[in-house]
Amino acid sequence: MTEVLSMRGIDKAFLGVPVLSSVDLTMNQGEVHALVGENGAGKSTLMKILAGVHTADAGTIELGGRAVSFTHPLQAQHAGVASVFQEFNLLPELTVAENVHLGREPKRRGLIDRRAMIDSTAETLADLGVDDLAPTANVGRLSVAHQQITEIAKALSQGADLICMDEPTAALADAEVELLYRLIGRLRERGTAVLYVSHRLKEIFDLCDRITVLKDGRLVDSVATADITPDDLVAKMVGRRIEAQFPARLPGTETGGTRLKITGGGNDFVDSIDLDVRAGEIVGLAGLQGSGRTEIAEAVFGIAPFTRGTVEVDGTPIRITRPRKAIGAGIALVTEDRKAQGLALWQSVRANARMVLDANARVHSRRRLARVSGLLASLDLVARGEDQEVRFLSGGNQQKVVVAKWLAAEPGIIVLDEPTRGIDVGAKHKLYSVVRELAAEGLAVLLIASELIEVIGLADRIVVLHDGRIAGELPGGATEQQVMAYATGRGPE
Amino acid sequence: MTRVRDLLLRATNPTATVFVLLVLVFAGVFAMNPGFFEGPSLMAFLKQAAPLVILAAGQYFVIVSGNFDLSVGALVGAQVVIAARLIDGEESRTLPVMIVMVLFGIGVGLVNGLITTALKVQSFITTLGMLMVLYGAIRLWTGGAPTGSLSESFRVFGRMGIEDVPVLGQIPWALLIMIAVGAGSVLLMRTRFGRILMAAGDNERAAALSGARVDTARTIAFVLSGLSATIAGILIGGFAGVSAQVGDGLEFTVITAVVLGGVVLGGGRGSVLAAMAGALVIEALFTLFNQMALPATLRPAVQGAIIIAAVAYAARRRTRPVPTATATPS
């Protein structure tokens, strides 16, 4: 078998944080190769280096035996590497044929030869075994699956020998997944190699010839699919880490009555959510990216409300249609993206910390305002003063300001969506202790984290999501394998 | 050494720069005409400058919340014409007509605000449309030339003051109104409403997720701008009398003033005091031009240059690496 790709010793760091360290990846002609790992394992980064989006800090890349080095996606494209990202690179106002030939339109006497363009697109589609997609169709009106096919046709017509697909089934319906399976089968027959990045074990075992496992930016193993069982694969993906240490449950923490109760909650993103969080309890929401974790937080907080089911706060049914209502009901949400959603960056620490109080007459009080400075201090905020603009603070200190702004309102329920993302270790540990203290004070805490270890280390109960539904529930301290088993849709270990 | 740099850094902060400019321009005026700072002529200057300063305060609220109000010039013109036509020289109608004007100013602001927030039309377009509607409607209503006349008691606000004050001569009502509007604006920005308005201009999403009624706050900002145009209309009508051109181009002068005050277009930054100081700088600059016997027709060109220079200056400062906090990650 001919080797089409050989990546050796790839290193990559962002802002000094290593994301990949000496990773190898080899692929053969016509091979469907799975790249797997937890969130943050480095899959996307490796794929983007291959696609020329990022440039590796060290290591070599050979395509068909020739050493290459990409600094721009176009270079990768010319070298025969095409990528189908989750966000498609298509122009919705143009036709399928125009998109397939974008930038390389066939010309006759200096004008675009529409006929030739349509014919060659029809040929490519026929080669892929697709018979229900017209080259003249407008891309913006196509289904996601057909848009994906257009992307793949575009890749082939550019002469790609290697196509990278990032979570290609994430947005597809079941019937469309079948279509993608057939398409990938065709690509294999043609000798086109496919790098298949996915979380979904079933697809990986259905489709792929080989599997490369990454973990924390390092290569764990690269094996033939036939030589490994799903359980062993999960074990390789999660392993065990000892670095994280979590503060123990504080003495005197009592689990009280149910503060938040969701029954049959559902909307466009999630369905059949039954979830309750009691006073003094930390419930972890685990799941892979796109499994509906953030969507549950946003529904509870009224950003994209549940359209089905009921929500009760402290036993009272309530329809939360806007964040204001959620805040009025004593719910706080520390959002995933603190810069875009949490902070007014050009305002002072003080202005941000009192924003929730300022904005809501229902929670505003002099007593609470007077507590803000003390809150900031108790979170060990490091700033030049409360007048300093928050844009000058480190990520960890910015996050403390966000937490302070919500605690100022003295909520009964706090939802933390990725509270430790992008912050330093010290600030992380401070936040872990804060979460414990909040539970001890009788708050109901709903904790969302990509880092499984955080959920396992902090939560009293872990609710695992898969495809917008609750796949299972585990006690705190469960193993990563158990969580991943539910998260990948395989049921209990 | 660090102190000098600190001082320089602070002086080049867009908000502080306007006060430095104010001193420089006044120094220029003084050099040309040392008599300028004698009581009566200084009072006359402030009386003339008051409407623009008041408009700047109104415009500030809109800009800091992330919008523009281009309709203020046309609104000032409309208010003067409405006043003249409805009062028609009758002293007894002064108060009722002023109430009508206030309601009209609130109404125009409300319409601007609701179209911008509820219909999601960019404020640039909303208020440009409002400018043209007011402009056309007033000319339609008056048949081209304003009719009627203002009452004496109406004109008191723009023309008169506390007379026979030692040293100063007259303390104009316009100056006192300006000070009241300025003080009110500063206080308003220190209330919860003011902070929410600022946060909405800085990060609309963060403000909304914190429970802020962003649309309501922005609509109120437009209403405040409409009210400021009403007050300015009363002062300008009193000071300069009735003409159909009275507010023409004022929207650009006032936006120039606010930008000169270091208030960033797009919202979230700048102080109302600096915005009003920006208006004073512009008025002082015009005075300087008069003293240098430069033609008044030069004004638009100078305003244009100022607005570009001020925005470029603010943009340059923003792209420079920000000073890092002394804070160490904890």
pLDDT at B144: 74
Question: For A194-211, what is each residue's pLDDT tens digit?
Answer: 999 887 788 889 899 999
| Exposure class string for A225-235: b at 16+ Cβ within 10 A, else e | beebeeeebbb
Same domain, A282 and A224: no
Q: Is residue A245 part of a domain?
A: no
For residue A86, the domain's CATH number is: 3.40.50.300
Same domain, A234 and A264: no
Q: Is residue A46 part of a domain?
A: yes
The residue among A207, A238, A269 that closes a domain is A238
Distance of CA A273 to the CA centre of its chain: 20
Min distance A303 CA to chain B CA atoms (Å): 8
Nearest to A392 among B210, B325, B330 (CB): B325
Tell me the pLDDT band of B293, cut-offs 50, 70 and 90.
Answer: confident
Nearest CA to B131 out of B207, B209, B41, B70 is that of: B70
Nearest CA to A369 out of A350, A392, A347, A383 is that of: A350
Q: Is the model more confident about A40 or about B216?
A: B216
Q: Is residue A250 part of a domain?
A: no
Same domain, A414 and A307: yes
Domain B12-317 has CATH 3.30.160: no
- Both tokens of A99, joined, read 């998109």
Enclosing domain of residue A72: 3-238
Contact B327 A393 (CB under 8 A): yes
Kind and range of the H or E element at B71? none
Same domain, A222 and A262: no
Same domain, A328 and A361: yes
Q: What is the ipTM of this complex?
A: 0.85
Nearest CA to A273 out of A281, A282, A265, A285 is that of: A265
Nearest to A396 among B195, B325, B330 (CB): B330
Same domain, A232 and A287: no
Which residues of A fall within a CB distance of 8 Å from B205? 340-341
Which residues of B fall within a CB distance of 8 Å from A324? 211, 213
Count residue pairs from A and B with Cβ separation < 8 A. 108
Same domain, A294 and A440: yes
Which residues of B fall within a CB distance of 8 Å from A303? 209
- Residues in chain A whose beta carbon is closer than 8 A to a beta carbon of chain B? 301, 303, 323-324, 327-328, 333, 335, 340-347, 351-352, 354-360, 363-364, 380-384, 388, 391-394, 396-397, 405, 424, 426-427, 430
Contact A346 B208 (CB under 8 A): no
Domain limits, chain B:
12-317
pLDDT at A39: 67
Q: What are the Cα distances from residue A35, in Å, to A60, A208, B84, B233, B234? A: 19, 10, 78, 70, 72
Are A138 and A95 a contacting pair, CB within 8 Å? yes
Same domain, A132 and A196: yes
Tell me the pLDDT band of B10, cut-offs 50, 70 and 90.
Answer: low
Nearest to B202 among A335, A340, A347 (CB): A347
The residue among A238, A266, A300 that closes a domain is A238
Report, as an integer, the average pLDDT of A324-331.
95
The partner residues of A20 in beta bridges, in order of sequence, read A12
State if pTM tops 0.90.
no
Same domain, A217 and A320: no
Contact B329 A405 (CB under 8 A): no
Share above pLDDT 70 across residues of chain A, in percent, rounded to a whole number: 97
pLDDT at A493: 61
Supply the mean pLDDT for chain A. Answer: 88
Tell me the pLDDT band of A85, cut-offs 50, 70 and 90.
Answer: confident
pLDDT at B9: 60
Share above pLDDT 90 across residues of chain B, in percent, rounded to a whole number: 52
Contact B212 A355 (CB under 8 A): yes
Q: Is residue A253 part of a domain?
A: no
Which residues of A fall within a CB distance of 8 Å from B319? none
Share above pLDDT 90 across residues of chain A, in percent, rounded to a whole number: 48
Same domain, A365 and A447: yes
pLDDT at B324: 37
pLDDT at B328: 34
Report, as an integer, the average pLDDT of B28-34.
86
Name the residue with tokens 């302070």.
A404
Is the predicted pLDDT of residue B325 greater than 50, yes or no?
Answer: no
Q: Is residue A167 part of a domain?
A: yes
Which residues of B fall within a CB distance of 8 Å from A393? 325, 327
CB neighbour class for B118 (10 Å; exposed up to 12, middle 13-18, buried from 19): exposed
The reply to whether B196 touches chain A by the CB within 8 Å rule is yes
Q: Is the model more confident about A187 or about A394?
A: A187
Tell me the pLDDT band of B60, cut-offs 50, 70 and 90.
Answer: very high
Contact B211 A324 (CB under 8 A): yes
Is the predicted pLDDT of residue A225 greater than 50, yes or no?
Answer: yes
- Residue A139's SS3 state is helix
Are B50 and B175 a contacting pair, CB within 8 Å? yes
Residue A392, number of CB atoms within 10 A of its CB = 18
Sign of CA dihedral A37, A39, A45, A48: positive
